[in-house]
Structure 1
Amino acid sequence: MRTTSRLRTTLGLALAGVTVTLFTSACSTQDAVCGGDEYPVLRVGSAGSACASDDEEPPKGYARYPEGKVPKHVDDTWYTYWQTRTVDKNGRTVELPEKND
């Protein structure tokens, strides 16, 4: 009887560990700005962003984010920062005009 109880306890703990691991890994990648083989790019002169393949330059009309100011996750510091700013054609950071709802 003791062996069965220990086996059940061990099995329960193992299943709990697997469950925690699955939930933790899902949360850490769920809110990433881009996928694993991509990097975020910023629309020049207006609001908007996209993801570009790691082995390609940004698409026409887009630029890389300034070094050190790249958003990595939705709602992180830089993601929020770029909601009100963009870069101009010279690469300078500029404020976006306020929206009139």
Structure 2
Amino acid sequence: MTLPANSPRPAKHRLVAAVLASAAAVMALTGCAGFEYREDICSSGEYPVLSVGGTGSACVPDGQEPPVGFVRYPQGKVPQQVGDTWDVYWDTHTLDKDGHVVDAPDAG
């Protein structure tokens, strides 16, 4: 089936193609920077805790105390998202049994 030359359909198809091409160009030029995904350390309703003397961590339900061998992160030094400043920091630091920040023994 051939559409008449004055049919609105070909113009609509050209418009859709132009919009898609423009969107692809914008994404290619920006590297999709506006769509960066960051994973949260814990789920909603949980908070992160650090293992004493090591770099291990866990998530604890809000309102519950940390399990034995874990403590809350120091105020203002709590990692929120994977790869954020404090998440990276706690890869090489930990808390000792007295609550002092020390270099992690397994930090390399």
Q: TM-score, normalised by structure 2?
A: 0.64
Any idea what SS the aligned residue of 1:94 has? strand
Aligned to 2:66: 58
**Identity fraction in percent:** 49
- Where structure 1 has 5 or more consecutive residues not aligned to the other structure, the ranges are 10-23
Contact 2:79 2:85 in 1 (8 A): yes
Which of these residues, 48, 56, 60, is aligned with residue 56 of structure 2? 48
> Please, what TM-score do these two structures have when normalized by structure 1?
0.68
Instruction: Quote the offset at 1:42 in angstroms.
Output: 0.2
How far off its partner does 1:45 sit? 1.1
The CA RMSD measured in Å over matched residues stands at 2.7
Match of 1:14 in 2: none
Higher helix share: 1
**How many residues get paired?**
84
**4+ runs deviating over 2 angstroms:** 97-100
